[in-house]
Structure 1
Amino acid sequence: MAHEEHRAGSDAATVDHGHDLVNWVKPDSADSLAVARGKPILYDFAAEWCGPCKKMTKDVFADSATAHWINDSFVPARVMDRSVEDGKNSPYVTTLIEKYRIRSFPTLVVAQSGRKPVILAGYPGKDETNRLLRSAID
């Protein structure tokens, strides 16, 4: 599968992540919800220990205008790496990490049927993240 890489909430599947305002769904529900809603999936690959992940959450996902746009434009699914805390990930998380060749955190993936995934590895700042997310679905 080819990848394009850039360096730098009412369902039962909704996951609460505290102060951020994005309506995250469980990763294993994202495909069916994307089909039902006719929207691309925004995967947020992150880890609890990841400082840049926390910065992205504070800057991007806790910003009300940005979170509202993400909720309207995507089926957002947070994929938490638990390999440090638990020694392994669930099989589904492992499959997603391998499928999108995730090598660092945070990594955002926009997955849309019929299009190659757009991958943003790292956190280049709020403005660049927003620009890349918008360009991924234009």
Structure 2
Amino acid sequence: MSDDLRDAATRIRANAYAPYSGFQVGVALRSESGRIFTGVNVENVAYPEGTCAEAGAIAAMCAAGERRIAEVFVIADSPEPVPCCGGCRQKIAEFAGPDVAVTLATTDGKTLVMSVAQLLPGAFGPDHMARATAAAQG
């Protein structure tokens, strides 16, 4: 776990927009180039329309023209480290190799480090789409 990722995720978490749940989440990820991108959860009164912190950090990375994640740090105020939701696990797997470390942390210092493969075993990936892609390309 990198201190700079922990510090960035901890700082950005305070900017989460969570007026309905009060559950603020901050994420910092390092791209393969070494740049750090952050994200926070953003709620909406129509709950399914909110966005997760992981999705925000990944969107910021993509907006900057980067496509590969080297490391992820997620922090929330919870008694135990909070795993990413299923959708965010899939989003992380899209941009990170199976051995990339994902650190899940609480605001009081507990951490759990998992690889992307541990976080999302049996991940759906591009290889599953090979036939459809080949058929579409004619």
* TM-score in same-fold range (> 0.5): no
TM-score by length of 2: 0.26
Higher helix residue share? 1
Q: Which of the pair has the greater relative contact order for Cα pairs under 8 Å at 6+ separation?
A: 1
Is the radius of gyration larger for structure 1 or structure 2? 2
Greater strand share, structure number:
2
Q: Please report the TM-score for the alignment, with normalisation by the length of structure 1.
A: 0.26
